[in-house]
Amino acid sequence: MESLKNLHLGKNNLTWNGAKGLEPKFQLSKLSLSSCRVEGEIPSWISKQKGLDFLDLSENKLEGEFPLWLAEMEVGGIILSDNKLSGSLSPRLFESRNLSVLALSRNNFSGELPENIGEASAIMILMLASNQFSGEVPKSITNIYRLLLLDLSKNRFSGSNLPAFDDDALLAYVDISSNEFSGEIPTTFSQETRILAMGNNNFSGSIPKNLTKLTLLEHLELNDNNITGELPSFFSQISTLEILILRNNSIHGLIPHDMFNNLSSLRILDVSNNKLVGTIPNQDTKNLLGMINTPKTLSSIRDVFTIPIEYNDLIVNWKSSKQGISHNSLGIYSLLDMSRNMLFGEIPSSLGELKGLKLLNMSHNRLTGKIPSSFGDLESVESLDLSHNRLTGSIPPTFSKLLELSTLVLSNNLLSGKIPLGGQMDTMADAASYANNSGLCGMQIHVLCSDQKLSPPRVVEEEHDESDDEWFRWEGVGFGYSAGFFITVGILYFSGYVVPKKVNNTQRRRRRTSQH
């Protein structure tokens, strides 16, 4: 045991008793005790491991503060996420020249970040989400020239002047959502930025055109702010955009006719609960390949790292009730939500060409005319909500072709006629889904039509697993880092290999490195 260098006991359902007075004879380089039910303070015997380069104590029941002795150990990777640690972070922690990964998410840390955070210039991954940090983000954070991933979400950070990152910084992932930031929407991010999440803050004003300089941007989240102005057409200039979330703001005006011209990768669009008016553009949807052909796998941001960061927890929370979205492989879902605006006119039949859509919500508008029969071609759709409009006519018989459909809401319209049978329509038997229409009839709602005898609808019995009944409210698209992420980081540290891939301009990196 004295020659032991790497100890990885995580994810084995072990219980670590944290025996006091433990003085192991080995000197470890890598230590992982994640999910070992370690309780109490961070074990002090770790301080005797003078050559420790990687420490993973995530998903335990640790309490107390971040110990000063750990801050002074010059550990390369520290993962303490999912514990009950509290207190503030010592400036000594960021004097380290070795610290590459610092993951403290989902604890009870508080206070302001030390002003000298930028001295830790080797940090590549900084994850501080779901704590109680407050105050402004120190300007010096932009000095961390190797920073690839920054997650400050779900804290109490504030201020109207976020640190300005250089255009040639390596930063690819930024999540500052669910804080108290204010002022105009910031645009001072690296041109390498792929994911930019700024929802649930107090940003105001219109959406700035400077965002178009982020030519690699894949995910933009601006929901739940105080954004005004019109929906800009310049989004079409960001051809890499896959996810655009603008819900719960005060964006007004028309939907630009050319907004989707070059967005062949767009697969999630949420502009719900704004003040949009006018008709839905009846444009050629063939450019929206991301909503026509749902990908089987994702690449994008993970290509920036040798660490295979997973998109395994795309959180889809939609309208606070079960909406028929299964939560397997959510990362490849395609969604279109234009609900709760003031859109009027007919629904374009071209929307039926978006065969990759899993969710389509156009409820709570002023739409008129008939439901397009082309909606029967939405072969992947699981949830369809057209309620609270002024739609007329009958429900298209083509709905019997929607074999993936699990939720259909057509209430509060002017629909009439027989509800179609066949396929999943036989199971759409919730009367509330058809309520307040002009004259619907059919087996599903136990209302006799003139050409049929009344009988109960066919009920499809399924085995029910409570774990599969976790229906979410479509309140955010966030990318969760699973245990797999931390395990992978650990494995790579155990093998001595945690480095970013070369990013386009090698000379640029050398230049920036020499400056530090």
The dihedrals phi and psi of 154, each to the nearest 5 degrees, come to 55, 55
Query: Which pLDDT does position 24 carry in this prediction?
Result: 65
pLDDT by residue (tens digit) across 125-134?
999 999 999 9
| pLDDT at res. 21 | 54
Phi, psi of 412 (to 5 degrees): 60, 55
**Contact assessment for residue 251 and residue 276, using Cβ atoms and an 8 Å cutoff:** yes
7-21, 133-147, 229-243: segment of lowest average pLDDT: 7-21
Q: What pLDDT is recorded for position 436? A: 97
224 pLDDT tier (thresholds 50, 70, 90) = very high
Highest mean pLDDT: which range of 11-20, 48-57, 363-372: 363-372
pLDDT tops 70 at residue 321: no
CB 335 within 8 A of CB 315: no
Extents of the domains making up the chain: 234-302+314-421
Specify the fold of 234-302+314-421: 3.80.10
Question: For the segment 479-493, what is each residue's pLDDT rounded down to a tens digit?
Answer: 433 334 443 444 344
Instruction: Name the burial class of residue 432, with classes exposed (0-12), middle (13-18) and buried (19+) by CB atoms within 10 angstroms of its CB.
Output: exposed
Q: What is the mean pLDDT of residues 463-473?
A: 36
Residue-level pLDDT at 137: 98
> Cβ of 477: how many Cβ atoms within 10 Å?
23
Of 330-334, 355-359, 411-415, 421-425, which gets the smallest average pLDDT? 330-334
Average pLDDT for residues 130-153, to the nearest whole number? 96
Residue 217 CB coordination number (10 Å): 24
- Region of residue 78 (left: phi > 0; alpha: psi -120 to 50; beta: else): beta
**Between residues 116 and 303, which one has the greater pLDDT?**
116
Q: Phi then psi for 233, rounded to 5 degrees?
A: -80, -15
- The confidence band for 23, taking pLDDT boundaries of 50, 70 and 90, is low
pLDDT-derived band of residue 496, with 50, 70 and 90 as boundaries? very low
Tell me: the pLDDT tens digits for 91-103?
999 999 999 999 9
In 3D, which of 327, 268, 332 has the Cα closest to residue 299? 332
255-282 b/e (C-beta count within 10 Å ≥ 16 → b): bbeebbbbbbbbbbbbbbbbebeeebbe
Check whether 278 has a pLDDT greater than 60.
yes
Q: Is 365 exposed, middle or buried (0-12, 13-18, 19+ CB in 10 A)?
A: buried
Per residue in 56-95, pLDDT tens?
A: 999 999 999 999 999 999 999 999 999 999 999 999 999 9
The 3-state DSSP class for residue 476 equals coil
Strand order in the sheet with 252-253: 252-253, 275-278, 342-346, 366-370, 390-393, 414-418, 439-441
Query: Which value, in Å, is the radius of gyration of the alpha carbons in the chain?
Result: 26
CA 223 to chain centre: 12
Q: How many CB atoms lie within 10 A of CB 141?
A: 22
Tokens of 218: 């894949």
With bands split at pLDDT 50, 70 and 90, how would you rate the model's confidence at 26?
low
For residue 312, the tally of other CB atoms under 10 A from its CB is 15
Give the rounded percent of residues in the chain with a pLDDT score beyond 70.
75
Give 355's contacts (C-beta < 8 A, 6+ positions apart).
292, 293, 377, 378, 379, 380
Cα–Cα–Cα angle for 141, 146, 148, nearest 5°?
Answer: 85
Rounded to the nearest integer, the mean pLDDT of the chain is 82
* pLDDT band of 407, cuts 50, 70, 90: very high
Q: What is the pTM of this model?
A: 0.82
- Residues 356, 267: contact at Cβ < 8 Å? yes
pLDDT confidence band for 383 (50 / 70 / 90): very high
Residue 317 in this model has a pLDDT that exceeds 90: no
Can you give the pLDDT at residue 462?
43
Confidence class of residue 290 from pLDDT cuts 50, 70 and 90? confident
Which among 38-47, 157-166, 281-290 has the top mean pLDDT? 157-166
Average pLDDT rounded to a whole number, residues 9-16: 64
Identify which of 364, 323, 332, 357 has the alpha carbon closest to the alpha carbon of residue 473. 323
- The residue ranges of DSSP E strands in 206-341, in sequence order, are 219-221, 226-227, 243-245, 252-253, 268-270, 275-278, 335-337
